[in-house]
Every structure is written in structure tokens, then in C-alpha cells.
Structure 1
Amino acid sequence: MSGRLAGRRAVVTGAARGIGAEIARTFATEGASVAVLDVSAEGAATTAAEVGGTAHVVDLRDVAATRAALEEAVGALGGIDVLVNNAGVLRKAPLLDITTDDWDDMFAVTLRPVLVTTQVAARAMIAAGGGGAIVNMASMAARTGGAGQGHYAAAKAAVVALTRVSALELGGHGIRVNCLCPGFVLTEMGAATRTPEQVAEWTSRSPLGRLGETTDVARTALFLASDDADYLTGQAINVTGGMVM
């Protein structure tokens, strides 16, 4: 087996479609064994079949089920070397219209599972002798905010903060923790919240003159998961085509 992740065992959450599915495919192409976690049974099964991995269906709002699903995935892989916390939701609402239920649900899907999965994965990595990489998915919204994104931007900013704390506390075990802050990537989730006019306006903001592709994010996740980034931890890397510098 060859590739930058040859022999590595990776778990990717939210990998039924979009960026998560692209990360799973990229990791598998680079030699990793991949377990897919997602709330969509059909989507998880499809991605798992593509990458020759295993599918584990879980609603990440359920803490106990999340722990159990990740432990099951680690068991299926025979251990874990890489965790990618990609799962999340993107919903928009004016600040004055965000309810506390909206707020709590956003954090329950986008932030809390990062803590739960990190705890499970890090304990397994430490028990195996240490070492490993965790890649969390934040967002450009964590850097710049955005109208209608109060709860989303706050949750993603918290992912950045949790990444830094995790890097500090787990570095002594050889575990690196970093996160990505993608800009506008026209996935199914992103496309559902943007008009053609908005897409054109966002495109004009990038010095590169284009929006992001799922492969742009996946390749950066690959770098962070690989030995090429073995002296990189606690970082929040912008993948924004220059929209944030």
C-alpha cells in the first residue's frame, strides 16, 4: 500500500456527501482505511462503498450514541490514527430571530460532537502509545461572521478555540490538532443557501476569481493528517481563495 496515509486508520464524520465525502475519498486514495459516520444511512453506505470502508449511522446530537458509534468505528478499523470532525449544519436567521432552540441545536450538531469524538479518539490514540492527528472543520464565518449567521459563526469560532485547547493538552501525547476554515464551497448544503447573485458576488471577492471546490478542502485536510504537517498543531487554516488573509 502506498500514499501519504498508507496504513493509517481514519474516521470522518459527516461524510455522506460534500466535503466530508471528498475527504473520505482522498484519504482512501492516499492509502488510509476509512470509517464513515453520518446521520444518513444511505449516504454513509454510499461513501463507505466508494472508499472500501465501513459505515456507521449516528445522530451526533445524541452523546451516548456518538460515543458508541465512534468506538464501533475504531474497533472496525483496529485503532485510529486520524479523526476528521467534519459534520455540521448551516442555517441562516437574522440575529433578532434566532431562538434559544436554534442556538442549542446548532451547538449540539456543530460543536458538542467535536468534544465528544475528540475525547474518544484521543483516549484510543493514547492507549495505543500516542501519536495521531485530529482535523476539525471550522469556517470562514469563524473569522468574519456574516449576516444571518450568528449561531453558525459562534459555533464555528468555538471550534477554533476548542482546537487550540485540544492541541495544547494533547500535544504531550504526540497528537496534533488543527482545523480548517473553508470559504464559500458550493456543496449541496452551500448551494441551498445562496442565490446565483450571491454566488457571483462571493466569486468576485476571491483574488483567484473562483469559489472553492470540495477537493481544495480535502487536499488541505490530507496535508494536516499526513506526516508533512508533523510540526503543525493548534492552527486554523483559511481555505478561502484569499477572501480572508
Structure 2
Amino acid sequence: MTTPRTRLHGAKAIVTGGVGGIGAAIVRRLLEEGADVIVLDLHTDAAATRAASIGAAYLPVDLADPAQTRSVVQAAIEALGGVDLLVNAAGVFRALALLDINDAEWDRVLNINARATLTTMQAVAPSMMAQDHGRIVNLASMAAKSGGAMEAHYAASKSAVVALTRAAAIEWGPRGVTVNAICPGYVLTEMGAGTRTEEQIAQWTQRSPLGRLGEPDDVAGLVAYLATDGGYITGQALNVTGGMVMH
């Protein structure tokens, strides 16, 4: 029998946005279970330090630049000697009223959250299909299903992630590649902490039948399952919302 610490032994994984919050929890979980992981994130000294502290290799990338993204993903595949798992955990969020969303703000959110997801999937798919096996997990959001005031462009970007996931699952499934999205509820990470007051946090907590907010490890556990035992699951947008959303 395999153990949770060995079931990903030798698996080659690429994780975007893996230096903080949910992404870092995913990277830690994959490493604990034996995977070789390369993190793709923005070029900062802090990102390099955090990746090293987790124990992952790190390649800097600006995911808003499609050409650079393709090049860096290819470099990661070459460094790993292949790719078995891609996790798209990178994302940006800013609370903004619908009437205040200008072209630049729309493009920033859609380019990082949606277009970069398409670009990285396109970059790994040929390698995965060549070996007739691969797992892709895209982080969407509860907002993809419920929408929400002050986050229209974010919700739109995450809805696009769900649509991309379903299309890829249909097209690449015959070649052994599963593609799924995870829709986290409110998880208090660095990105979210600065956008909610204590009163808002209490309100969100009350919305969950479990009476608590999500934790990064709640999402990381599902990623690990999809990467291993979830081989007959594809094209899904799976909620990790503590019951805040049930569809």
C-alpha cells in the first residue's frame, strides 16, 4: 500500500502562484506526498525566499506576458524532465464597483486569472498528451458560480476559468489528461485579508453550515486527491466553500 507521503513519488508538478496563501499550501502538500515541484511566480526577492523556505524550485515569470509564460513553462518542463501535474493557483483580486472598472483594470484581472490559465494549459498539454497522462487543476472561485458585488471582473475571470476547464477536459480527455477546477469559498489568505473587515469576516463565517472560513489546506487536500485518486473526475468545478455554495 502507498501512504499519503509517497503516492506522488516521482510526479513532476508545476504550480503557478505557489509562494503564498493557497498556492503555498498546495506546494507544501505536493512536496510532502513526494512530488518534484517547480513554482512559477513573479520575480521578487521575497518570492524566491518563500519558495526556498517551502522547499520548492522557483522560476520567475510575468503571467501577464503570454510569450514569457510559454517560455518559462517550457523551461520548467525541461528542468523536471517532463510534467504530470499543472496547478494554476496564481490570481489577482481587487474590490471595485462595477461602474469603476476601466479597460486597464479589466485587462489586468482577465489576463492574469483567465488568459494565463489558457496559456499554461496550452504549454503543458503537448507533453501530457505525448505520454497519454496528465492532471491539470485550475483554481477558480466561488464567485464563478455566485457572482458578487464589487468583484464583477474577478467573477467574470473565474467563470472563464471554469469554461476553459470544461473545454480542455472534453478535448484532451481522450489523450489521458484530466482537467478540473476548484472553486474555493472565502479563504483568508494574504490576498483576501486586506479586502475584508472583521465584521465582513464574521458575516462570511455565518454563511457556512460548518461555522468557519476555509483554510488553504482544505484546497490543497483536494488538489492532491485530483492528482492521484481522482482519475475518473474531469471537467468539474468542485466547491470548497464549507457549504456557502452547493451547486
Q: When the two structures are superposed, what TM-score results if normalisation uses the length of structure 1?
A: 0.96
How far apart are the structure 2 equivalents of 1:3 and 1:50? 21
Deviation at 1:52, TM superposition (A): 3.5
Deviation at 1:46, TM superposition (A): 3.0
Specify the code of the residue in structure 1 equivalent to 2:240. V
How far apart are the structure 2 equivalents of 1:24 and 1:3? 15
Query: Matches of residues 68-217 of structure 1 in structure 2 within 5 Å?
Result: 68-127=71-130, 129-217=131-219
Specify the code of the residue in structure 2 equivalent to 1:221. V
Of 206-215 and 38-47, more deviation after overlay is shown by 38-47
Superposed CA deviations along residues 87-125 of structure 1, whole A, max 9, x for unmatched, are 110111111111111111111111001111001111111
Q: Is the 8 A contact 1:24 1:47 kept in 2?
A: no
Q: Which structure 1 segments of 5+ residues have no match?
A: none
Q: Which structure 2 segments of 5+ residues have no match?
A: none
Secondary structure at 2:179 match in 1: strand
Q: After TM superposition, what 4+ stretches of structure 1 lie above 4 angstroms from structure 2?
A: none
Q: Is the 8 A contact 1:37 1:44 kept in 2?
A: no
Q: Is the 8 A contact 1:36 1:47 kept in 2?
A: no
1:32 is matched with: 35
Deviation at 1:4, TM superposition (A): 2.2
Q: Is the 8 A contact 2:129 2:172 kept in 1?
A: no
How far apart are the structure 2 equivalents of 1:126 and 1:237? 24
RMSD (CA atoms): 1.2
- Report the count of equivalent residues: 243
Instruction: Give the fraction of aligned pairs with identical amino acids, expressed as a percent.
Output: 56
